[in-house]
Each structure stands twice: as structure tokens, then as C-alpha cells.
Amino acid sequence: MTALKNDRFLRALLKQPVDVTPVWMMRQAGRYLPEYRASRAKAGDFMSLCMNPAFACEVTMQPLDRYPQLDAAILFSDILTIPDAMGQGLYFETGEGPRFKKVVSTLADIEALPIPDPQKDLGYVMDAVSTIRRELNGRVPLIGFAGSPWTLATYMVEGGSSKDYRKTKTMLYDNPQALHLLLDKLAQTVTSYLNGQIMAGAQAVQIFDSWGGSLSAAAYQEFSLAYMKKIVSGLIREHEGRKVPVILFTKNGGLWLESIADAGADALGLDWTCDIGSARARVGDKVALQGNMDPTVLYAKPEAIRTEVGRILASYGKGSGHVFNLGHGITPEVDPEHAGAFLRAVHELSAQYHE
């Protein structure tokens, strides 16, 4: 494989020295970009975009072509490819988000779920990873990703998005045996899926625990973090002669940073409700930190964006181990010029912290 021209993202995740703080954005390939909307229209719908490696590569590359400051690419896909491969029939309703033709509600439903083979059942994702790596040609590292077992389970039990996870939490308390079986199957699947992405060319991986923060402290440990630990322990951690860093991101997980830091990953993603300086003090040198500007700051004027970037950099302080990101995904209504101002500010303002 081609040597990396810019590896500061990987270096920062491993707390190695860098010249400036690396930066990327969750959902950096997405609806805020007119070029993405054009590609989606050409593909026909969201799933056609995900399942066609050429389209997935095209939209992965779009933000990199627009913003030379980006220090990483992230595979264009969706966390719900896994439940789809388990036979649940993923589809998207316009304006309604993801839906499934089948839901799981009983132990028998869960026992019947297959554990998909990443090469056979999710081969289109592996093809997308290898296609993107070839197209990147060493420009920046490629991030692979998956949803956490708890987050995937909520979609599978609820049948789509949920505000209160009522069905999943009812199962958690009334029928924990069933939920544990589902989470165990998902942990096995996520592990093999991420390892497949690594073998296909992903140089770092992130686990998105989008809804772990909806749990109580005890339930988070038992039903979310325990399964992420299991995944981390089963991942390929070195490939192509270098380490493959792992990032764990639990939205609204700031109360449990110490526990997450002990899970075996290289970095923690922070949402915007945490102060990054306090988080650094709490986890010490155990892990790198990724984050954590409120995505809605990007609606503000470029001067205000720059001020907030400066505040977060100052809060983290000197030294490596910080990957700048938003505290959640960039939203569709953001002006692309504001995103560019954000990315430029990170590189321009961060050099002083790496002298």
C-alpha cells in the first residue's frame, strides 16, 4: 500500500508528537455539501449510495477535495448495514429516517438472527473501503466504523429511531437474557465487520455508541460498555506495519469517562457537554481525546467559530493526544464556508500548542 503523506491523525490518536492538531468532522460527507446532494440524486436514494462502492468512494472524497485541511477520510456508509445484513430489511422513509421491515421482540426472534459474514453479506462495504483506499493514494488515513451493540439493538427492537427506547429498555429490565443474547450476537458481528474493514484498508476504526447515554449508570456498564470492551479485545490492532487505533464515542457519556478509558481503546470521542480540559485531567495519559465543539457553533459567523475553536484548544492545552472534531455530526443546514472556516482555524490556532 502507498505510504501515508499525512499521518498526523494516527499519530495524535497514539499520543505521538504532531505539528498541528489534526481535525476531521463526523458526517463530513453529507447533506450540507451540494456535491453530495448531486451524487445522491444521481444514485437514486441513500441505500444505493451506500451499496455502490464507486458512489461511496465519490462522496467520501468530496469533503477532502473541498477542504485540504481535513486530516482523515471516513468511510461513507451507515451503522444500520449490520441489522440489514441480519435480515431485518432496512429502508428509509423520506423525512422519517431509517425503518425496518422486521423487528425483534422475543427471545425466539433473536435466536433466529444469523451472524453475518462480512465478506459475503457486507462485501459492498469491504469493496468501498478498498476502493477509497486506492483513491486516497496515501493522502490521509481512512477511518472505518460501526455502531455499538446497544445502539444497533435499539434500532432493531424499536424498528427505527426512538425518543425514549421504550421497547428496548422494557426488554432490558423484563427479559435481560434476550437482550444479552442480541448484544452478544451484535458484538460478534461488529468485531468481524470492523476487522473486515481493517483488512480491506481502514487505518483506524470508530465505534459509535450514539444512544449509550440514554442508559442509567449501571445499565450502561452492563448493556453497552461491556460489549464494546468485548469488541475492542477482538480487533486487529496492527496492520500494514503500523498500529490501527480504536476510538470509542458514547454520546452523553461524559459521566463515565474513566470507565470508558479503561475499555482498551486508544481514544475517546467526547460530545460537546464535556469540558475537554476536565476530561483530559480525568483520564490522564490513558487515551487520546477526540472532539468536541458543539456542531451548532457552525451556524455562527466565522469569527465566532474561530473564537470557540481557540477556547477548546486552550482548554486541552499543550501536547499531542487531541484530535479536533465536532461533538456530534455536522448538520445538513450548515454553510460549507463555515465548515471551511472551522477547519482552517484548527490548524492555524493549534500550532502554538505543539512547539
Compute the distance between CA of residue 18 and CA of residue 8 in angstroms, rounded to an integer. Answer: 6
Burial (CB < 10 A; 0-12, 13-18, 19+), residue 108, is exposed
Give average pLDDT by consecutive 10-residue segment, the chain, 355 residues: 90 98 97 96 91 96 98 97 95 80 95 96 97 97 98 95 94 97 98 98 98 96 98 97 97 96 98 97 95 97 98 97 97 97 98 95
Main-chain dihedrals φ then ψ at residue 179, nearest 5 degrees: -65, -40
Q: Which three cell numbers stand for residue 100?
A: 425496518
Top-tier CATH class for 8-354: alpha beta
Residue 27 among known ligand-binding residues: yes
Residue 328 among known ligand-binding residues: yes
The residues that bridge with 208 in the sheet, in sequence order, are 147, 249
Residue 178 among known ligand-binding residues: no
Kind plus residue range of the DSSP H or E element containing 46: helix 46-51
One-letter amino acid at 80 equals L
Among left, alpha and beta (phi > 0; psi -120 to 50; other), residue 305 is alpha
What is residue 268's predicted lDDT score, i.e. its pLDDT?
A: 98
- The structure's pTM equals 0.97
Q: Which three cell numbers stand for residue 266?
A: 486508544
One-letter amino acid at 59 equals V
What is residue 1's predicted lDDT score, i.e. its pLDDT?
A: 60
DSSP letter string, 159-226: SB--SS-HHHHHHHHH-HHHHHHHHHHHHHHHHHHHHHHHHHT-SEEEEEETTGGGS-HHHHIIIIIH
C-alpha closest to that of 343 among 300, 315, 290, 302: 302
Compute the distance between CA of residue 313 and CA of residue 290 in angstroms, rounded to an integer. Answer: 12
The vertex-335 CA angle with 332 and 336, nearest 5°, equals 95
For the annotated catalytic residues, the residue numbers are 27, 31, 40, 78, 155
Asked if 139 and 6 count as a contact pair (C-beta separation under 8 A), the reply is yes
Residue 267 among known ligand-binding residues: no
C-alpha closest to that of 129 among 76, 88, 176, 180: 76
Main-chain dihedrals φ then ψ at residue 108, nearest 5 degrees: -60, -40
Q: Which three cell numbers stand for residue 55?
A: 458512489
What is residue 310's predicted lDDT score, i.e. its pLDDT?
A: 98
Residue 284 among known ligand-binding residues: no
Number of C-alpha atoms within 13 angstroms, CB side, residue 256?
25
